[in-house]
Chains A and B, each alone.
Chain A
């Protein structure tokens, strides 16, 4: 943890070095050019859906990761994803709003709910916060079943696809419904959102707020004693986390064109947490890698039929035994060795 933190902060001090820049360029090229070309060449367009899901889930997981960064285990991201999905769906179907406007509103609404709920429950620490956030997922699912505006168990269906965005007659985003390949469009949208999210996360982690977060992760009382308003910071971080959850959920609703109370459940909340764990809690890009590995692993194991869950769970346990500090910790070990 501390090793990664130091190397990151020195990296910032000297500006972003060339290796990082090349890495980012390769990543962007792979995501926006190589993968679509490969998919077009192989004809496996179903991969678009898989990769879009990975991108969106990794956005929500990034929020959970940020909560880990201040030392809180958040198993309630499913709740905020569901809130985001419902807010966007209701705005689009009932108020006739453009999806692109409803997307940020969904995020902000989720963040607002997080502030309201967070003020009391963020006082809880450790396992207590983990349990209450798990309960939160259940509360939102039940609320979605009970409230009249969410249409109960039937959910909200046939949400129209995102429409056109234009400024002064210049089309910025074309209408998804008229497109012949809306999957590709969703893929690009999700990837852009993911890149933005992780760029923002990287920036945030290396900012003053990031340093404060790390100090809170290590010792909240100490952080508070040197004049950090910990109550304020943790509510802010919870709001950012939930904003990302809301955005991810709203996009998911738009792709599926439907939202049900069961769209995001306790199992999804746990999966968001697992993504972060698997990628490694000390690394900003951990949630992205974790989501990719978990989601793809699950998909690839589909071939194994009824043994899918068994193999998946065994692999998870095996990974946990071999790499208890996450996948990216392989890299950390290598760095440590070269430093010596």
Chain B
């Protein structure tokens, strides 16, 4: 029981971070970012390169991941999403763009880093063992702790800084924010960069545990969509709730249903559909997004 709880918290913290980035981008730009999983994979590969290949300290590698992804995110917004949103007749067109960017990132990752599964040396050795009731390697505890720290930092940033306030205003009502003197173009870029940076950060954190490979992008995006749907799209608290709920469901499902084979995800999907039929806007979302 304690083990399941510990696993749930560990999975939930990571998932919440992935969902946060996706929901931020969605709230600001109304873009469903198909490429989010690929951004996550890219973050993992950057950390792998700096920490695993060049032997730099892990913190430096993590910072490089954040920086690279923030730049990538800013460029994507400035030169691709921004112009297309302005010019296209239907806002769904950005989905095609996002899907194409997902393909492009896949191609770049394939060319630069190859298709092999990559791992890095452990950051801390040893296993925490509480009387065989909770067994968890120390590096997982550290990553979980760092993830929670990052989430807290992100929320305080959104709550207490001027940029955060501008971003929240933008998410609430774009026109009104513009009338109040918010530079929408600039803050859209910052917001996209921030969302991409979160994906890069979690990619960098997780590469120390699960490693990273090219194929992880798509499934990660699908999971992130699920979390956002559980919590409600475009709501920060919803993304965190969705991440934690999905983390716990997975932890419980894998522990309880393991003898029936791989049906945990099937059950999660089906219960999600039933849940959404009853409450279409998710736990905390605004009705009809």
Contacts and interface: CB of A to CB of B under 8 A. Distances in A.
A264 B206 CA distance: 29
Contacts of B128: none
Interface residues of B, number: 49
- What 10 pairs between A and B have smallest CB-CB spacing? A120-B277, A324-B88, A313-B104, A313-B103, A316-B100, A309-B107, A310-B107, A277-B96, A139-B269, A142-B266
Contacts of A134: 222, 225
Interface string A237-276: 0000000000000000000000000000011001001100
Given A139-B270, A320-B80, 10 more contacts: A131-B225, A142-B263, A146-B266, A270-B34, A270-B99, A313-B104, A314-B104, A317-B80, A324-B93, A325-B89
B245 to A, nearest CB: 15
A324 B95 CA distance: 11
A131 B228 contact: yes
A313 B101 contact: yes
Interface string A115-131: 00100110111111011
B258 to A, nearest CB: 14
A320 B84 contact: yes
Given A277-B96, A309-B106, A314-B104, A117 B32 contact: no
A324 B84 contact: yes
B89 A1 contact: yes
A132 interface: yes
Given A142-B266, A145-B262, A317 B273 contact: no
What is the interface of chain B mostly: helix, strand, loop, or mixed?
helix
A143 B111 CA distance: 34
Contact of B111 (A128, A270, A310): A310
B289 A325 contact: no
Interface residues of A toward B: which range? Answer: 35 or more
A68 B89 CA distance: 14
Secondary structure type dominating chain A contacts = helix
Given A130-B32, A139-B266, A316-B96, A125 B288 contact: yes
A27 to B, nearest CB: 26
B233 interface: yes
A124 to B, nearest CB: 5
Given A127-B26, A320-B84, A143 B99 contact: no
Given A127-B32, A313-B100, A320-B93, A135 B269 contact: yes
Contacts of A136: 273
B222 A128 contact: no
Interface in A293-340: 306-307, 309-310, 312-314, 316-317, 320-321, 324-325
Given A123-B277, A126-B289, A317 B100 contact: yes
A317 B97 contact: yes
Contacts of A320: 80, 84, 93, 96-97, 100
B87 interface: yes
A117 B96 contact: no
B89 A135 contact: no
A281 interface: yes
B83 interface: yes
Given A125-B289, A317-B80, A120 B273 contact: yes
Contacts of A53: none
A281 B90 contact: yes
Interface string B215-231: 00010001001101100
A157 to B, nearest CB: 21
10 contacts: A120-B273, A127-B289, A128-B276, A132-B272, A135-B225, A135-B229, A138-B269, A313-B103, A316-B96, A316-B103
Nearest to A143: B266
Contacts of A139: 266, 269-270, 273
Nearest to B34: A270
Interface in A191-212: none
A309 B30 CA distance: 27
Interface string B59-95: 0000000000000000000001001100111101101
B95 to A, nearest CB: 7
Contacts of B101: 313, 317
**Residue of A267, A278, A307, A320 ringed by the most chain B CB atoms within 10 A:** A320
B277 A121 contact: yes
Given A126-B288, A138-B222, A121 B273 contact: yes
A126 B104 CA distance: 25
B13 to A, nearest CB: 22
